[in-house]
Homo-oligomer: A and B are copies of this chain.
Amino acid sequence: MIEDKIKKLGFELPEPTKPMAAYLPSVQSGNLVFTAGQIPVVKGELKYKGKVGFILTLEEAQKAAQICVLNCLSVVKSITGSLENIEQIVKLTVFVNSADNFTSQHLVANGASELLGEIFGETGKHARSAIGVNELPGDSAVEIEMVCRVKN
């Protein structure tokens, strides 16, 4: 079971986060699920704030990315009923709140990508973009959105 695997890795699948605003956490169309952008919220609290490379280290940002991607999985589960119904993680877009001259967005994103690999194996292998931005909602350090293919 995928959720057992998440626990064995030392993580916990959170309850789906409520959107900070007027939209849905995820929407299915055909066999694709698109998630809303997820920030590193744990039990209602934004855990990692500030610019990576200034306020936060790379290692902290990688932990933030792990939380974001677990939140993505949680909102996918809220639609599909179970993580077992994920056939393929298709795409991640990873936005990193970046200090001037911080250019390791791809290493931040590895926090998310490697965790998906550990959880899902082949099913977790995805295409990905890592992008630096100057601001994110609530001063979040990272925001990640996911597209995945699910059983229909």
Contacts and interface: CB of A to CB of B under 8 A. Distances in A.
Q: How many copies does the complex hold?
A: 3
21 contacts: A22-B114, A23-B92, A23-B125, A24-B125, A26-B127, A27-B91, A27-B125, A29-B88, A29-B147, A30-B32, A34-B127, A35-B127, A37-B128, A37-B130, A95-B131, A98-B135, A100-B134, A101-B135, A127-B145, A132-B133, A133-B135
Interface hub of A19, A25, A134 (most chain B Cβ within 10 A)? A134
A30 B31 contact: yes
Measured as residues with beta carbon below 8 angstroms from the partner, the interface class of chain A is 35 or more
A24 B100 CA distance: 28
A121 to B, nearest CB: 13
A119 B2 CA distance: 39
Interface in A89-127: 90-93, 95-96, 98, 100-107, 109-110, 113-114, 117, 125-127
**Dominant secondary structure of chain A at its interface with chain B:** mixed
A1 interface: no
A102 B133 CA distance: 12
A148 to B, nearest CB: 9
A136 interface: yes
Contacts of A105: 135-137
Contact of A143 (B36, B127, B129): B129
A52 B104 CA distance: 18
Contacts of A35: 127
